[in-house]
Amino acid sequence: MHMEVLAPKISKCPDMEPSYSKSICCPNTRFLSIKKSSKGEQMKNICQRIGIPCRALKSDRRNSFSAGMKFQLDDVIEAQQFDRDTLNAIFEVARDMENIEKNSPGSQLLKGYLMATLFYEPSTRTRLSFESAMKRLGGEVLTTENAREFSSAAKGETLEDTIRTVEGYSDIIVMRHFESGAARRAAATASIPVINAGDGPGQHPTQALLDVYTIEREIGKLDGIKVGLVGDLANGRTVRSLAYLLAKYKDVKFYFVAPEVVKMKDDIKEYLTSKEVTWEESADLIEVASECDVVYQTRIQKERFGERVELYEEARGKYIVNQDVLKVMQSHAVVMHPLPRLDEITVDVDADSRAAYFRQAKNGLYIRMALLKLLLVGW
Determine the Cα–Cα distance for residues 251 and 247; give it in Å rounded to an integer: 9
- # residues contacting a copy of itself (CB under 8 A): 71
339 binds a copy of itself (CB under 8 A): yes
Residue (276 or 303) nearer to a copy of itself, CB:
303
Which residue in 42, 64, 85, 128 binds a copy of itself (CB under 8 A)?
128
Asked if 204 is an active-site residue, the reply is yes
Tell me which of 125, 275, 327, 332 is the catalytic residue.
125
Closest CA to 235 of 298, 328, 164: 298
Closest CA to 209 of 315, 293, 126, 120: 126
105 binds a copy of itself (CB under 8 A): yes
Residue (37 or 162) nearer to a copy of itself, CB:
162
Length of the chain: 379
Scan residues 190-249 and list those touching a copy of itself (CB under 8 A). none
CB 333 within 8 A of CB 228: no
Asked if 185 is an active-site residue, the reply is no
67 binds a copy of itself (CB under 8 A): no
165 binds a copy of itself (CB under 8 A): yes
Question: What φ, ψ does residue 148 adopt, rounded to 5°?
Answer: -60, -30
Asked if 155 is an active-site residue, the reply is yes
51 binds a copy of itself (CB under 8 A): no
Scan residues 265-294 and list those touching a copy of itself (CB under 8 A). none
State the nearest-atom distance from the C-beta of 254 to a copy of itself, in Å.
25
Task: Note the Cα 308 to chain centre separation in Å.
Answer: 32
CB 21 within 8 A of CB 46: no
39 binds a copy of itself (CB under 8 A): no
State the nearest-atom distance from the C-beta of 124 to a copy of itself, in Å.
5
Binding segment toward a copy of itself, per CB under 8 A, in 82-90, 136-144, 275-283, 288-296 = 136-144
Which residue in 135, 184, 263, 304 binds a copy of itself (CB under 8 A)?
135
For the stretch 16-24, contacts whose Cβ atoms lie closer than 8 Å and that sit 24 or more positions apart, written own/partner, are 16/46, 18/46, 18/49, 20/46, 20/50, 21/50, 22/50, 22/51, 22/52
Element (H, E) at 240: helix 237-246
* CB-based contacts of 61, cutoff 8 Å, min separation 6: 7, 8, 10, 378
362 binds a copy of itself (CB under 8 A): yes
Catalytic residues: 125-126, 155, 176, 204
